[in-house]
Structure 1
């Protein structure tokens, strides 16, 4: 089942779109908080976004650009604006398609099916970035990239896996044995010193984006990351 996120401040239209999409088996989610659409997007991890242009605070072009910093998920604009310039701006800001209001629901469904078939079908090259977020710290799972307050740093695969494991168990001790399993493969020899070296590197990477003293060493047990950044 595909999850579609609807960003539309006209609640009557929002409900009509949701009801129609649900009849075709789509799971839908509507945005209520228009002040932080990026976080709403990360929380719901949709397969496709339907985006109005005229929104409270910032317009749809702004939010499309914001989403494009973390994901290539398809975005279809729905707008009463029908000028060529608006459609050009939609594409230039990262949109995949543009539908002018009022629109036919048959056309909307056809457009959605076409985009989903192209992006998620057997002939697609799916490059969408999965995102994990914790207290404003973003981990881009397909890129090994970490972002905090607009500062980004790239980690090695092993460093990223260690940090991800700690964050999934935030404020809990993760045993050395569990972390060593992450580093283990058939080629490299891994011991406690290897783990310590990699954990030191993770700390340094976090310091580069302004996060310090959050990974605690629990002697004889393992490591813990505390959410005090």
Structure 2
């Protein structure tokens, strides 16, 4: 995978790490297990793949797998429970706020999170984000609704009301959400645009989301969790 992503022939790949092309051929065609020194040479030559190469994971910042080399990763560098009006909980300045993404867990209508991208430049395809992870709920007419109102009022008070109307809703599989909690990062391709024809509850959820974008701190959900059954 690394050789193909780097667009190298076996001979070119072998030459760059100082081993024989026969060794590469044996690994690729015969399933030979590469020696530790071979893995080390690959990791030294392409350190961005080193962690994935040795563990199969990509849960360290600035380490990626070759199949994600061209993909975008959203990485959490500020993690807060809620953004309350009048607070200054964040290190990130409001003028650095970028896109606002709502993440709805695909199998749980009451499980909602928010990522605020920053406008800081991407490094190796990684975008820095603020993660808001507690109490938000598009189906609630109680505390979940109030948390969404608080978020809108916070953005208004910080002079970023523009982000309310441009926010986006995404659906995310449970395992991806769990991975986000574990590793503090998620691939952007894991955030799916909701298919409103797929389920009635998705349509109602999207209507509530549209109401939040329209009304902000005065948000009232049209549908509550009882309507989602």
TM range (shorter): under 0.3
Q: Which structure has greater helix proportion?
A: 2
- TM-score, scaled relative to structure 1: 0.27
Q: Which structure has greater strand proportion?
A: 1
